[in-house]
A and B are shown apart, each in its own frame.
Chain A
Amino acid sequence: MKNTRQALREFGASFMGPAFLVYAKEVEAKGAGRVPVCLAREGWCFERLLSHLNAHGHIELEYAPRYLKVSRTLLFRANLGHDYLWPLALANDFEGSMLDLMRKRFGLQMHEAFSVLPVELLQMQIKLPEQQSDAIMWLEPHVPRLKALVAPTLQGVMAYLAALGLKTGPQPMMLDLGYSGTIQKLLTRMLERDTHGLYYVTTKQSGNQHGAGVATLEGVFRENASWGDGFQMLDRSLLFESLMTAPHGQVVDVREDSDGGFEFCYGRQAATQRHFQDLQQVFDGAIEQVATWMADEVTFTSEEVEQMYESFTTRQGAIPQCAWHLFFVDDDFSGNGILNPLALFNI
């Protein structure tokens, strides 16, 4: 008695649709003179949403949205060894060995780590963010070797950004779920220009200088939100994050080919990637619903979107069984491996 395709589509419409609608309208409103840059992985469905709405005349974007295959891990790797990276890369929770940190947060392979860092250092245990200064101190002597190791990645990312035309032309408007804009800040420095970020939620609104550019962050549903304050679109954002992913998973490396093309490397796949055909139904249902609403001039307030998200993420049984297998998220970044947010939040 499982009507899976229909169930997935309608789940997508109700779970993701209202937030998509509000977000897409905000992208349109803030898009003048800017090119929407949909950051991987969440950007994968944003790019499809915006392209669909734009193509069907539901919104008008001055520039076509672009999908940018980046991740925190990729940019951390590319910028490894630079002073400006440490506050961004070592501020989030982590507990484990330095080897684990190098692997999981900076995307180094084991042999890479061992080739540039002493065994004694790799075996040391570290707890972040408490030991951030220790980590910097320990890594400092090895910076030249680290930079040399990741130089091909840095070159690949820079070439990729240039190939997409992001270093010149209209200002990039980075689109992502949120929250502190780490990717945007690093891209701002690498692009050497001002960027605007439009997120579901921001934890800290800022217009900080990053190298030659200023990264401005804006939250559509809430700004300056804090973890643990009971705002479920942040506290239980893992549920949105689980679904809002790309079929290829996390980008961990990019290399420029000799013919000017690019070769991407991806991290391990979570269930959402393995069952991407189901996730596609969820996205399609949501996008189709948003298009219908836009045709009918329907709008939602942020409060309505928040209330629906809270209901879905706090009520047992609100998320239908047909979608349970999609709720897995790769949290290797924090050393947690694959997480199941439904189990984590006991829903």
Chain B
Amino acid sequence: MELKDMIRGCLGPLAVAIDEFRGDLSVEVPKSHIIDALRRLKDDPGLGFDFLSDLFGVDNSEIYKKKTASKKPGDEGPETPSENDMPSPPRFDVIYLLLSLKTNRRLRVKARIAEDDPVIDSVTSIWKAATWPEREVFDMYGIRFKGHPDLRRLLMWDEFPAHPLRKDYPLEGMGEERCLIYE
């Protein structure tokens, strides 16, 4: 059986979309069921994605901006709702890179997160390997992980005011300096 069908069979309705590109499979699952989906993938005897290789975030806001800019108002197509009534697509992705140690197959699991509610369940209860990556995603994107044992900034200092990997943050920063605190 092909891996795609096995994943569909394992996840059922949780697999919102499955995408394949250059041999890499990625599956999108609803953010509310992320722990359930990852547990199923881990415990499934045929798949056995038992190793969390990495966890990180992606900010999609510029891709959406580019797409709306290229779409002209007079375009043909089904219908072009005006920008106000269209619900904004979820801005962030949190991507889990899974690996099966038995079969050496890899899978990307994607959860989409809206900007106004950047919260997702922490997977540290399944893999301890998620501890620092989740802290880093919190640091870089401001996505909070519910149930994380110690959610602090990881790379930037504690008082840093922004989330640097968001697309609207300039590369050269906004003049933040770490002040000299002699404890």
A binds B: no
Chain A residues proximal to chain B, CB less than 8 Å: none
Chain B residues proximal to chain A, CB less than 8 Å: none
